[in-house]
Structure 1
């Protein structure tokens, strides 16, 4: 049974982007990697790997890729990688030359293994009092990151995770009301959607206003509609990079 304190911790999750200079002890890093390794895995293939980026020059380059300067600052940086290369290597060493590890099914298995490991590691880190920020922004230039980390065929970077001792205490970010994300037995989105989100938009507007009065104040629905046709630079190349890595070729 999940302890009530664990649920309270998860409901109180806040993204932390500023860490103190106190380093995360090696034994904590080892413990968190152990948690990642013990995450649920599809078909027991364990199709992910974790890279600790400790080289400051590489952290700087990843910060540039992410366009998030804090990535290169204090804290420990993990890059979680979908990894079918290891299983291909095992098969090759056992004389198996044919494999389907680059197919959509195996890619999605590796992707889900990886994202589950990220979430597990984040929960564990926060249980120790650490702050965390998950970095989808590492895919702003996937090929550059692949080259930087020397990722072989049948691997692909999925998410970064920066952890450290918190040096900020941001507000709790408001989430969508349950009726828009939880349905029973079939998909039942209440429509029209946008008019029913007026109250939620007001809460989000206030959240941004209180977080930083000098920044643009926005609502949830406005953010959604602005991103409908937006393809960030380099992200339009993701399918090509995936195929270059040996995935989704069928």
Structure 2
């Protein structure tokens, strides 16, 4: 096992950081690492917004509700971005690209491109001894985040990534077993996955009961049923369409 794989397998979300900022060189290296991620047809359908301003962090914190959104060394917001292509087509080459940009396919491309870039950034940051945490809760009020960051049409905020020097070392949260997540040649029926999920529930119950902080009685199945039984962030769909994306 090499050091890169060791780093990946030791990943844990960090939500408490030391009061120490990143250097400009660190920020640039993280971003340059993100930019080297694979991208569909070299579209690079994303933009990364670095957030240093404390006032903006406070506003994003009000949307997210998580303290580490305002207390971190640096924050990145990853956006799906088809605006550049729109401008090249309509303004530069005088050729309509609107129908293509409004398709579900291009929304998927933008989301995947941004996610690949973010994971590159995360691995780069962790290789520097930094900790990271993804912030999906920016979508709690996606319109507000859009307004704070002044995003034009064809650009949507997907998630945040906070980075900093860890001031905690939480236990590594177990993942679903490989036998559940990796299927060969065909999709495994749920019946073939179920016993592994049940074993994972037992493992998660033990994890929650014995971790060093925020202990509780819970498991993965119960969490998922609670999560998906209550509709959440239903405003995201009309918001995305209002940005002229995922309309076809």
Q: Give the TM-score range, shorter chain.
A: over 0.9
Task: Spell out the pairing of 1:56-71 with structure 2 (5 A cutoff).
Answer: 56-71=54-69
Provide the C-alpha distance between the structure 2 equivalents of 1:33 and 1:49, rounded to a whole number of angstroms.
Answer: 10
After superposition, the C-alpha distances for 1:185-234 in whole angstroms (9 at most, x for unaligned) are 010145165554333222211211223565532111111222231223xx
Secondary structure (helix, strand or coil) at the match of 1:236 reads coil
Summarize the Cα distance change of 1:196–1:93 in structure 2 as closer, same or farther, 3 Å threshold: closer
> Which residue is equivalent to 1:248?
246
Cross-structure match for 1:93: 92
Tell me the matched-pair count: 246
Deviations 1:129-151 (A, max 9, x none): 10000111111111110011000
- Structure 2: 5+ residue stretches without partners: none
- Give the 3 Å change call, closer, same or farther, for CA 63–211 of structure 1 in structure 2: farther
Q: Name 2:199's counterpart in structure 1.
A: 199
- Structure 2 counterparts to residues 126-145 of structure 1, below 5 A: 126-145=126-145
Equivalent residues of 2:180, 2:197 under 8 A apart: no
Cα pair 2:170 2:212 within 8 Å, conserved: no
Tell me how large the CA RMSD over aligned residues is: 1.6
Once residues 20 and 98 of structure 1 are traced to their aligned partners in structure 2, the CA distance between those partners, rounded to angstroms, is 46
1:112 is aligned to 112
Q: CA deviation digits over 1:29-69, x for unaligned, max 9?
A: 01111111111110111110000011111101111111212
Provide the TM-score with structure 1 as the length reference: 0.93
Q: Give the gaps of 5 or more residues in structure 1.
A: none
